[in-house]
Each structure stands twice: as structure tokens, then as C-alpha cells.
Structure 1
Amino acid sequence: MTIGSERRELSRAEVAGQLRALGVEEGGVLLVHTSFRAVRPVEGGPGGLIQALRDALGPGGTLVMPAWTGDDEAPFDPRVTPASEDLGVVADTFWRIDGVLRSDHLQAFAAAGPRAAYIHRDPLPLPPHLPESPVGRVHDLDGQVLLLGVGHDADTTLHLAELIAGVPYGLPKHCTVLRDGRPVRVDYRENDHCCQRFALADEWLRARGLQREGLVGHAHARLARSRDIVAAALEHLERDPLVFLHPANAGCEECNEARASVPA
């Protein structure tokens, strides 16, 4: 028996009601990271979940989701390049909907609503989650972040906090862009690591009553303001700039690479 057949399908209206009860603000800006596998089944599938999110926000609200490609070698075409499989089916469905704006660079987000153009106002952000990026613009607009069936390890707003804090680690990365119709490699340094310790944000936000939690669909959901996530992270990064990295003896290769990148 499949997971979907074991669970009752929730209507779009029920899911919108769950979102409102959780604290999603009508007319607000909402950045969503989600796993449909955790949420399902929902009336209308991934598209039905997207519509429930838009129903909860109302016509004055702006919905934002990641839509990057994950392919550093191929030039990016926002009209046809699929979103990375790591982002899930909801994110890959959202950018394809008529009227949804998608960034014209490979570190793309998609947005729909009155503030969508503002969220996409900047050129290619390198590293990806600078203040001058869609994640940064959600922060500017005092938006909310919804983690739906995923934890803070998927929370791009914590990468924004790292960059604002000026963390000392960074790994060499590159991407490919089109210039005058020709592919060009662009090198940059990114605050990259395994992200598992982003889960610390749960206790930081819960301790201050800044994170609301509950069911949306069949998934555990976390909701917090972007500015609260960043402020909580900055407080701890000021004390320990390596707080998000596993200890050197923990055996995490990605975090050890990041530690090794810190200037002596």
C-alpha cells in the first residue's frame, strides 16, 4: 500500500485553513521550501498545494520558491531549464505556472504576486544568497519563511545570515553564464558545508517563541519571519563564526573542507 492511499486526501480549502492557522499572513511575502512527499495527498497534487498557498496569502500576497538548476556547467534558460531535482516537484511545478516570474540566472527563485518584480530586481548573486538576492529581498520585505515537510537544513535564509555575518569559510565554486551568446565560466567562493547544523535554529527560535509549528497537509511545518531567523543566527555567529560546521573530529567531510578553507 502506498503512502498516499494510507492518508486521507486533504482539500485545497483545508490546507489553506491549516496555513492560516499556522500564521501565514494574508497579503504578506512567503518563501517556501517544501517536500510534497511529506505533505501529500492534497487535492490537485503539487498544483493544488501551490494554489492553497496562494489562497492563504490572498491576492495581495507574494509566494516565493527556489527554482535554481543545480547544473554549474550548462548555461541557464529561465524559460525551459528544469529546477534541480533536490528542490522537489512543488518547486519545479511553481516556476512553470503562467504569471510566475523566474530569475534570469541559474541561482534562480520563482515568485508570484505584487512584490515578485522587487524580489527579482538583482542580477546574478554570487555567492548565491547575498543580501542582493531573492532570499535577501524576502528579508528586506519582512517576509515569512515556511519549511513544509523539511527542516532548517533546507533553509536558504541561514545562508543569508552567514554572509551578513561574514563567516570566514568558503569553497571555490563556478557557474556558466552566456555572454554575447557564448558560454563563459564564472568563478566564485561560496559558504558551503553540509548544513545539518542549521537544525540549531529550531532551538534558538523556539526558545524565543519566534517559530510556529504544526501540520500542513500531512507534514510538520515550521513558520518564522526571515528577519527573526537572521537575527537569531547572527547572535550565535557573532559568538562562534563556525557554529554551523560540525566539529573537526565528527567525520563530516563537507564541514572539514569548510574548516580547512578558513584563513590561518
Structure 2
Amino acid sequence: MLSIEQFREITKKELSNIKFKEKSFEELKDTLNDNSLITADSHCNPKTPNLSDFKSNSETGYQRAIFNTKFSHLTFSSGKDKNINWLDLELPVELRNQSRKKCIDLIGKIDDKPIICELKYKPKDSKSNSDRPEYGIFELIIYYYLILCNNEKLNNNKVHHNSKEISDFNWNNIINEKPLLILAANKKYWENWFDKKTYQPCDTRDEILNLVHNLNKKLEINLCLFETNNIDLESDDTKYKGIDVSKEWKQITKI
């Protein structure tokens, strides 16, 4: 089993091999070098997200809509089907004394298996760039690293939401039971990034999946990519209650 320091150093090395020079990747490197993210221990009381009357044609609206479905049905490449029960959302994974913290999008479980999920979303008619899949992959891994470092403090500070809609949980469970790490995005997002005519330079589907395979092996993790249906978050009928969000998620595999 890797130590936390070994996990960090391997992640830094693999991130340095990424060929893209965008500012966002430099910020990921800075995160791994920022010791305040693992030494800070300020009181943290995350604000309960608005889940009933929220309008946003963005990743935030996508997150709310998924959480409001209560569960998602996953079809794995092995053919197995499993349900994720969603427990909480938008939780800080560090305890610096500042308003904007690094947060994981969704936390859930399959049976007793913890799930850490990062989301990416591309609106139907959007022409703007979205985060590259490689960015999302390393972002998720770094959030897991921060949980490994901070789980006791997150537990002691009771960093979770308590309401009728949101369940309590124990951060130690994520450490004790090796979690499944999921990068999920809507179909439009994956279609855009897998189309080299749209973005240059862009890795192919197989190259991205090879990256996931190598990171899983070197970091001793279980990270998967999943595709959800497209959802029209601008529809007046949606209202982010999960009405138009398919619960069906399909694992992305090589063609």
C-alpha cells in the first residue's frame, strides 16, 4: 500500500507528463505543493445547497439535478449493474479559513462501497471550451489525496450537511473502504472532447482511457469514466428536481 507521501509524489510526476500548457494544469500542480491545504484546521460549516428552486445552465445545475434523483444506475464495462445512493454534495475536502474551498461534487455509496464523484458538463448549444478530461481526472485524484490527508479533521469538524434531503456520513469510511472514483459528464461533453475536429490538440478516447488505466495501476486506485444523458437545464419544466435527468450512467470504454 502506498503512503500518502508516495501517492502525492506519483501524482506530481504523472501530472508533469501532461503535455497541455493551460493555466488550469499549473493550478493543479500548485495545489499539490500547497501545504496549507493539509495543515489548516479551521472550523468549517458548509452551507446547505439550494436544491428546490435553483436555476443554472451549468455544472452546478447538473450537480443539483443528479443529486435530486437520489440514486443513479451504473452499467459497468463488465456488464454488472449497480445503483449509487447519493449521500451528500459540494463538500469541502480542506479546512483553510477562506470562503472558497476545494469541494467534491458528489459523495455516495454502492452497497457499502464509498463513491467520490467529480462532474463535468457541457450545455447543449455551448461554443465555449470546458475542462479537458485529463484535468477532471487529476482534479478528482487530488481531491482524494486531500481526503486522505484531512479525513480525521473533516470528521472532527463534522464537515457534512444535515437536512431532510441530505444524509450524514463518516469521512473515515472513505479511507477504510477503498472508494470508487468517478469522473462523470454528459454525452455532449464527451462527444466534444473525443472529436479532434473540435479541439486541438486533443487525446483520443483510447489515449484518455490508457491514462486512467496507468493512474489506477500506479496509484493503486479505482477510477472510472461515466457518461450520462444530455439534459436541458434551461427548460422551465426541469427545475433541477431530477425530472429530466436519466438515472442511467454508462461506463466509457475503448471502441
Q: Shorter-normalised TM-score: what interval? A: under 0.3
Q: Highest relative contact order (Cα 8 Å, sep 6+), 1 or 2?
A: 2
Q: Which has the larger radius of gyration?
A: 1
TM-score (norm 2): 0.27
